[in-house]
Amino acid sequence: MNSKITLLVVQGVILFPALLWKIYQLTRAPGDVARWMVTACLASFAAAYPLGLLAGDVNQPEPGRIVPLLFQHIFLCGLVFALACFFLFSALPGSRARRGWRRSRWARPSW
């Protein structure tokens, strides 16, 4: 078996049970904002994972394969946003973190 395929299978086998475990933890403590952000990271990556497999090898993309790649990148941007929120909410107390998030450009675009 190709090592790239093996890595993809192992990644999928680890990702989806981890997402289920985090969702279970989230149901046990729904008030923990940092746990919400970790779960959002895993959910974004779980949504982007099959789209990356669907896009295939993108070194020489065909026009039909660019659409799954676009949506994969959108979900990966959501992952980065959730990761930034995780660090914000885990480093600051809840009220200060919420005020900092509201003042940021992420919550209020400038257009």
Q: For the whole model, what pTM was predicted? A: 0.74
> Per-residue pLDDT tens for 24-66?
999 998 888 888 889 999 999 999 888 887 777 656 656 567 7
Q: Residue 110 has what pLDDT?
A: 52
Which 3-state string (H, E, C) describes 21-77? HHHHHHHHCCCCHHHHHHHHHHHHHHHHHHHHHHHCCCCCCCHHHHHHHHHHHHHHH
| Model confidence band, residue 104 (pLDDT cutoffs 50, 70, 90) | low
Residue 76 identity (one-letter amino acid): L
Provide the residue type at 97 as one letter: A
Q: What digits encode the pLDDT tens for the residues 6-29?
A: 877 888 889 899 999 999 999 998
